Amino acid sequence: MTLQDILDPQIDASFKGFPQHSAPLRRSDVGAQNWNVLDGDLPLPLAIVKRDAVTHNLSWMQRFATERGVDMAPHGKTTMSPQLFQRQLDAGAWGLTFATVGQVRAGATTGARRCLIANQVLTASDLQGIQSLQQEFAGLRIAFLVDSLAQLELIEAWFSAHPQATPFDVMIEIGVAGGRTGCRSHADALALAERLHQSSATRLVGIECYEGGGASGKTEPDSAYADALMQRVAAIALACDAAGWFVDDEVLISAGGSAIFDLVAQQLKPALSRPVRGLLRSGCYVTHDHGFYKRMVNAVNQRLGCEDGLHPAIEVWATVQSCPEPGLAILAVGRRDLSYDLDLPTPIAYSPCGGRSVASAPADWTVSGLNDQHAYLRWTDAGSALLQVGDRVALGISHPCTTFDKWRWMPVVDADYGVCDALVTCF
């Protein structure tokens, strides 16, 4: 796959949301078509990304990290969009984070040369995949997570069967009881660290944790939770440093989902005998959302005293296809088109059929349910029964990760919903 294939592929009518009447186009030519979402130039439903909000979010988050002396390694799995990867790197990101070895290829092809895999790698195909990627892309560094002796034994078995392989860079993951992966105790983490240091198959380069699973959006419990987790991370890092188990001159310490990143950012650089690079892995910040992360980051804004934090940059537009009874409109959009894993979508705006005017959705509009291709928009106030068949409704989503993976491309729009660019995804 060439750089052009991934950054500037050809888009055609086989891509959902692309006009059926249009000839195939290179992605870079989409902005020159003078399309406008509100003119009906593109078929609905359609996920769009707002240019100005993305630009704001990239700048805001990079500035946040820089002011705290830490670096960004944004989680690429959120968007899997090479165009957004490139913009994150251009904005100053140290590297990119991924969830799988396969995802790393998209980042490396885009130009990333420092990649974290925020997951346990242990199968033969994935271990071989890392070796192959590092041979294919000169200067590519990949570090992944280890949380058990059982995982290490699988790595060592593969490594011993491949004498030409180079040792793997690894980070110990620290977990929490009842959570996902990660060492549950200080003793287990240190026992693993010592074995990683002794192993010829691994190079211990840092410590990692993920705090997002315990976030509530309430400052007092979230602060206590984040402090306790980061104190564990620091204690293990100090012990490994004192024992001489880290192999590089610089130690990587990483945390930071997209919910309470401010609470861990200030604790990513424990005082060790060698330099520490603190890495925030937030990914959803690039488009933010109108649901879960909006609620979480409202609390972040309050803690920071920030009046202009992250902006929602992704919307899904749909047509009203039926108004079958009072208080109900059926939208031609569903689970095939937008996320529904955390919250149902939120109606945020509407535009009458045949016009470009856009108005905010009334407060009593809610989406009560989704089918594969239908959404149930309901309201309670008879005075807000504004919709007619053919009108358009904009939905805000909750959790951008599981909306991006439903679209092979997305138009990028200006403030008037004119299409000025496009991005593609590589799921």
DSSP 340-385: -SSS--EEEEEE-TT----EEPPTT-EEEEE-SS-EEEE-S-GGG-
What DSSP line would sit under 153-194, residue for residue?
HHHHHHHHT-TTPPPEEEEEEE--TTSSSSB-SHHHHHHHHH
Average pLDDT of the residues in 127-135 = 98
Reported as a single tens digit per residue, the pLDDT across 359-408 is 999 999 999 999 999 999 999 976 666 899 999 999 999 999 999 999 99
What's the confidence (pLDDT) of residue 334? Answer: 98
Band (pLDDT 50/70/90 cuts) for residue 228 is very high
Give pLDDT tens digits for 282-325.
999 999 999 999 999 999 999 999 999 999 999 999 999 999 99
Only one residue has tokens 């095939």, namely 336
Q: What are the beta bridge partners of residue 75?
A: 97
Token pair belonging to 242:
């004192």
- Of all residues in the chain, what percent carry a pLDDT higher than 90? 96
Residue 159 has pLDDT above 80, yes or no: yes
Phi, psi of 411 (to 5 degrees): -70, 145
CA dihedral 212→91→47→416, nearest 10 degrees, is 130
Bridge-based pairing state of the strands 168-174 and 202-209: parallel
Q: Is the peptide bond before 19 cis (omega within 30 degrees of 0)?
A: no
Partners of 208 in the β-ladder:
173, 254
Structure tokens at 221: 């419990």
